[in-house]
């Protein structure tokens, strides 16, 4: 790599740095949301509703 090739790469390096900064901001925003375990893990009993089956026996109903 010589000194003349660095100015040619400057736009690409700037774009890569911006992409890394955006990824860091997105990760911080995602971590600020509550986890599903915290939202749904507090339920000790099932919902008050009639029992139902979904699907078909050969397809693995649950």
Write the CA distances from 23 to 2, 12, 30, integer angstroms.
31, 16, 11
Per-residue model confidence as pLDDT tens digits over 32-55: 677 777 777 777 788 888 988 777
Q: Average pLDDT, whole number, for the chain? A: 77
Which pair of tokens denotes residue 30?
């995602």
pLDDT, position 18: 92
The answer to whether 55 and 61 are in contact (CB under 8 A) is yes
Which pair of tokens denotes residue 47?
């919902």
pLDDT, position 6: 64
Per-residue model confidence as pLDDT tens digits over 3-35: 566 667 788 888 999 998 888 888 776 666 777
Inform me whether the pLDDT recorded for 62 exceeds 60.
no
């Amino acid at each position: 790599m010589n000194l003349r090739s660095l100015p040619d790469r400057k736009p690409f390096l700037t774009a890569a740095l911006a992409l890394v900064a955006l990824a860091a901001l997105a990760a911080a925003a995602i971590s600020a949301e509550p986890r599903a375990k915290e939202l749904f893990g507090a339920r000790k009993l099932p919902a008050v509703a009639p029992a139902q089956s979904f699907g078909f026996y050969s397809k693995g109903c649950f």
